[in-house]
Amino acid sequence: MKLVTAIVKPFKLDDVKNALELIGIAGLTVSEVQGFGRQRGHTEVYRGAEYQVDFVPKVRIEVVVSEHDAARVVDAVVESASTGQIGDGKVWVTTIDEIVRVRTGERGADAL
Amino acid sequence: MVNTGDTAWILTSAALVLLMTPGLALFYGGMVRAKSVLNMMMMSFGALALVSVLWVLYGYSFAFGNDVGGGLLGDPTEYLGLKGLMEDVTTDVGGYPVMAFVGFQAVFAIITVALISGAIADRAKFGAWMVFTGVWVTIVYFPIAHWVFDFTITEDDGTVSHVGGWIANNLAAIDFAGGTAVHINAGAAGLALALVLGKRRGFGREAMRPHNLPLVMIGAGLLWFGWFGFNAGSALAANNTAAVVWVNTLVATGAAALGWLLTEKIRDGHSTSLGGASGVVAGLVAITPACSAVSPIGAIILGAIAGVLCALAVGLKYRFGYDDSLDVVGVHLVGGLWGTIAIGFLADPDAPAGVESLFYGGSVDQLWRQVVGAVAVLVVSFVVTYVIGLVIEKTMGFRITEEDEVAGIDQVVHAESGYDFTSLSGGSGSALHQATTAKTVEGSH
């Protein structure tokens, strides 16, 4: 099993969610996060004092999928989240050892 | 006979000026970080509570009792507890009940103390602030209000029935609504307290961004609204002077906001909302002493210069390294000095005050009076405030601990949080928060 984690621009969340539903993904987790990559932060000015705001708001999407679905999910996210501008985000895939559905106690692929 | 028109306007103005202090609480509250918004607002509300009581007990007598000598202080016992002021004596004092004047002047005392709190945001013990408030109004504000606002009354037959303060009568400096007694006074006191308490942890290194600029904008709006009572109400009559002052208060403020925004656009590349709100306050401060002495065109010039001057002055704290957190010095001291001294250059003889200034062919006579009045209030306020602050710091301690400052003064001093950020930090919706609530309820049984 694989965990696909994507950091994307907040306004792209709806597009990504729709794209994942289209390829049959049954669930995902979303959180608001802050950080920076090559885009860096931005500068704000208050009464003439400049503040460097390092962190940019992003959305983190996490999806747990079976091994052979992982590549399709990554492609769907990349395609739907892309604007071609700097700051579009990243997607990565990690391997998961175990997964349990809390309600039934099912494990592994059955729990997906 | 009570002049009903005048009395109605004075009482209305007094209520307008009272609203300025909650307005100031919003203006200041939005400018601090989220963890200290309540303490910031409570410093204003604390001043509202305490000063209103002290004013009735002895403050009015200190400020407006018959002079005890040298124009320095009113007779503290004459109106102790406002004794003798409930009866109708309107024939003697120009058509409005003395109590209307008592109420109007009370709210000036309140806002002056509240203004100082901006210099010590995030870090003052609430109890120490309340002690400071009581001591400061008593030995700084009440006497200075006497100097500036208490006019000598000479009867028709030439006898003097009441002796007032030295700046208003002996020096004859013009301060229509409190450029010296309120703004220079609060600004100098703010500087003194900022020096006594020292810098906030991380000042000049960490970002200390305003946490809620819409609050700041609402606060600036309420201040502007209330300021029509502050300035036009100071005519103490519903008359031509009040009307001229009203228009000057409008237009100087607009010009100052433009001046501040333009300065920002040129210097920083952006005109900001905080700059707009600050420009409004800078203009209001600067026109306060001069609003009866300049023409509307003079008010535009005075306001525009105030906006530029204060926009530049708020940077001084970084250069000199004092943490005047919300720029009480940059806005109120600098704006107050400019407005008070500008009378010497811009006063129009056709305006209600009828003073001829330098630019209208007059001499330096009025200018030096303005400078002496401004400097006297600045020096006395700074020195006495510094001593009061130091005594409080050495005895009960003025400043919260560094640990409490980092945790946030609202939680530590008031046991409250200003906001419940559900979506950002797991607030009321989270299991963690619910568990905490349950424990508290259990503990209270």
The arithmetic mean of pLDDT across residues B440-444, rounded, is 45
Rounded Cα–Cα distance for residues B343 and B294 (Å): 7
Q: Which residue is closest to A34 within chain B, CA to CA? A: B424
Q: Let me know if residue B102 belongs to a domain.
A: yes
ipTM: 0.75
What percentage of chain B reaches a pLDDT higher than 70?
Answer: 93
In a domain, B407, yes or no: no
Place of tokens 């030995």: B139
Q: Which of B267, B274, B423 sits opposite A46 (nearest CB)?
A: B274
Distance, CA of B287 to chain centre: 13
Chain B residues in contact with A34 (beta carbon < 8 A): none
B411 found inside a domain: no
HEC-encoded secondary structure of B311-357: HHHCCHHHHHCCCCCCCHHHHHHHHHHHHHHHHHHHCCCCCCCCCCC
Q: Please judge whether B268 and A48 are an interchain contact, meaning their C-beta atoms are less than 8 angstroms apart.
A: yes
Q: What is the pLDDT of residue B438?
A: 45
What phi and psi values does residue B369 have, to the nearest 5 degrees?
-60, -40
pLDDT tier at A52, thresholds 50, 70, 90: confident
Note the pLDDT tens digit of each residue in B322-336.
999 999 999 999 999
Pull the structure tokens for residue B165: 């303060």
pLDDT tens-digit map of B355-408: 999 999 999 999 999 999 999 999 999 999 999 999 999 999 999 999 999 999
**DSSP one-letter code for A30:** E
A positions 17-46 inside 8 Å of B (CB): 32, 44-46
Residue B417 lies in a domain: no
Residue B49 maps to a domain? yes
d(CA B59, CA B308): 36
Domain hosting B24: range is: 4-402
Residue B428 forms part of a structural domain: no
Residues B68-95: tens digit of each pLDDT? 989 999 999 999 999 999 987 766 555 8
| A71-103 tens-digit pLDDT | 999 999 999 999 998 889 999 999 999 999 999
Q: What is the mean pLDDT of residues B99-105?
A: 97
Q: Minimal CA–CA distance to B372: which of B200, B173, B208?
A: B173
Rounded Cα gap, residues B16 and B421, in angstroms: 33
Q: What is the CA radius of gyration of chain B?
A: 22
Q: Is A32 helix (H, G, I), strand (E, B) or coil?
A: strand
Residue B443 lies in a domain: no
User: By three-state DSSP, how is residue A65 classified?
Assistant: strand
- For residue B342, give how far its alpha carbon lies from the nearest alpha carbon of chain A (Å): 24
Lowest mean pLDDT among A97-106, B119-128, B199-208: B199-208
Whole-angstrom distance, CA of residue B189 vs CA of residue B206 = 26
Q: What is the distance between the alpha carbons of residues B65 and B67, in angstroms, rounded to a whole number?
A: 6
Interface check B424 vs A, CB under 8 A: yes
Taking residues A19-29, what's their average pLDDT?
Answer: 92
A50 has a chain B CB within 8 A of its CB: yes
Q: Which pLDDT score is estimated for B433?
A: 42
CATH of the domain at B85: 1.10.3430.10
- Report the pLDDT value the prediction gives residue B93, as an integer from 0 to 100: 52
How confident is the model over A59-63, as a mean pLDDT? 96
Q: What is the pTM of this model?
A: 0.87
Are residues B137 and B54 in contact, defined by beta-carbon separation less than 8 angstroms? yes
Query: Does residue B433 sit within a domain?
Result: no
- Count of structural domains within chain B: 1
Say if CB B341 and CB B311 are below 8 A apart. no
Distance CA B100, CA B294 (A): 27
Q: Which residue has the tokens 């009061």?
A: B388
| Chain A residues touching residue B311 (CB < 8 angstroms) | 47-48
Report the C-alpha gap between B303 and B287 in whole angstroms.
7
Phi then psi for residue A93, to 5 deg, are -125, 130
Determine the length of chain A.
Answer: 112
Q: Which domains are assigned to chain A?
A: 2-111 (3.30.70.120)
